[in-house]
Amino acid sequence: MLDIGASHRKEYAIDAGRSEPVVIAEAPGRVHYLGEHGEPKARLFLSSAIDRYIQVAVSARKDNSLRFFAADLGERKRTTLINLKYKREDRWANYVKVAIHLFAELGYPVKGLNFTLAGDIPQHVGLASSSAIEVAAAVALKGFFSASVSDRELLNRLGMAKSLFFGKHSKGVDYLIALSARKDHFLLVDEKTMELKRIKSPFSKYKIMLMDSRVPRMGEDDELKQRRQDIRKGLALLSQKRQGVSFRDYAPADLVEPMGNLPEEIRRRCLHIVQELQRVNDAVELMKNQDLPGLSRLIFHSHESLRDLYEVSCPEIDWLVKRAQELEGVLGSRMTGHGFGGCTYTIIDEKSIDEYQRRLEDYERIFGFHPLFHTVKLAGAARVL
């Protein structure tokens, strides 16, 4: 990653005496290993932060302008506090605005500020790069104003500001992970209660590889919307519309056979969700017991369920997982993110990485996409540098 301090000083050198960043903060990306496709606001996730970051530098200006510089892109945006609102053309800068709005609402003296952004989180593959911008900017501003704001309040207020700016529900789980992660630990995250437990990684002899399939995703939003409609309808039919019932109240056996007026496609969607909830809990116990063969089977079963029941995979992703599964030294492999392309993760012995990469030559020949891979580690929480 480039030197964000040097980039910031160079970009804002016109502000004599104000070019030195007062605060530089960073926030990590994250991976969901299990659980991301489920009942909204009631999911269980097995996740971690990863050692790919967004960094944000902030310093004061003499005027009341808000300036934004994306050092990696060489792009610049600007606004003022009075005009602080979502603008489609501002793209990445909108995420910084979320954090600015948060501190303005808390009554801190937001006036003229310079921001610089840089990062190395792979884009558009479901690794929470946009949430990392929001968290890094919020942590930087917290340090800048010496604000006495708890992580929980920061999380809640980021969610409210995100909803205001973008008109949609915020990904509070991503904020929680970025603010609560611990190095070398997986996280069991309960979206319903927003509680989190840390599990020491049992993979000291393995590496985690992220494989970007480079598959262009078209129609993804419509497909995911249809899946959400299916599971809402399925839950309503299962529960006879009783209030407060969730998929956590059902066992996989409840959905093994079609029930009454539950259509087969909806039954499959619901079965995936109920089984995945069980898999997340089972994975935690397997990790605690160092049962790596059991965990391996569970991860592959989860991918099969995403492929066959929830139907959000694609041939390219399935090929990447299958080739990994065939390779000695691979503990597990599965798609992660929204699906219909995107990314896989593979937990692999370091000695097997070269062989896996060699097999990717066939992937490019068969599918015509050049995959990108990233080896990552489990990282800690957002911080001021």
- Following DSSP, what letter does each residue of 207-275 receive, concatenated? EEEEEE--PPP-SHHHHHHHHHHHHHHHHHHHHTT-TT--GGG--GGGGSS--TT--HHHHHHHHHHHH
Is the domain spanning 4-200 CATH 3.30.230.10? The answer is yes
- Following DSSP, what letter does each residue of 99-146 receive, concatenated? HHHHHHHTT----SEEEEEEE-PPSSSSS-HHHHHHHHHHHHHHHHTT
Q: Where in the chain is the domain with CATH 3.30.230.10?
A: 4-200
Q: Which of 92-106, 166-180, 308-322 shows the lowest mean pLDDT across its residues?
A: 166-180
Is there a contact between 68 and 59 (Cβ–Cβ < 8 Å)?
no
The tens digit of pLDDT for each residue in 87-125 reads 999 999 999 999 999 999 999 999 999 999 999 999 888
**pLDDT value of residue 15:** 53
**pLDDT value of residue 333:** 97
CATH number belonging to the domain at 206-376, selected among 3.30.70.890, 3.30.470.10, 3.30.70.260, 3.40.50.150: 3.30.70.890
More confident residue, 384 or 255: 384
The tens digit of pLDDT for each residue in 52-75 reads 999 999 999 989 999 999 999 999
Residue of 15, 151, 174, 230 marked catalytic: 174
Is there a contact between 371 and 18 (Cβ–Cβ < 8 Å)?
no
The tens digit of pLDDT for each residue in 331-364 reads 999 999 999 999 999 999 999 999 999 988 899 9
**pLDDT value of residue 231:** 93
The whole-chain average pLDDT of the chain stands at 92
**pLDDT value of residue 218:** 79
* Residue among 128, 203, 133 at smallest CA distance from 377: 203
**pLDDT value of residue 1:** 82
CA separation for the pair 74, 62 (Å, rounded): 23
Q: Is the pLDDT of residue 170 over 60?
A: yes
Q: Mean pLDDT across the stretch 183-209?
A: 96
**CB neighbours (10 Å) of residue 328?**
8
- Contact residues for 368 (Cβ-Cβ < 8 A; gap 6+): none
Q: Which of 8-17, 35-44, 174-183 shows the lowest mean pLDDT across its residues?
A: 8-17
Tokens matching residue 325 = 């599964």
Q: Rounded to whole angstroms, what are the CA distances from 19 to 114, 316, 337?
A: 9, 47, 39
Query: pLDDT-based confidence at 259, cuts 50/70/90?
Result: low
pTM of the model: 0.94
Annotated catalytic, 174?
A: yes
Helix (H) or strand (E) holding 302: helix 292-308
- Contact residues for 141 (Cβ-Cβ < 8 A; gap 6+): 23, 58, 99, 100, 102, 103, 108, 147
**pLDDT value of residue 59:** 94
Q: Where in the chain is the domain with CATH 3.30.70.890?
A: 206-376
CA separation for the pair 381, 119 (Å, rounded): 15
Q: Is the pLDDT of residue 260 over 80?
A: no
More confident residue, 113 or 242: 113
Q: Mean pLDDT across the stretch 310-320?
A: 96
**pLDDT value of residue 280:** 98
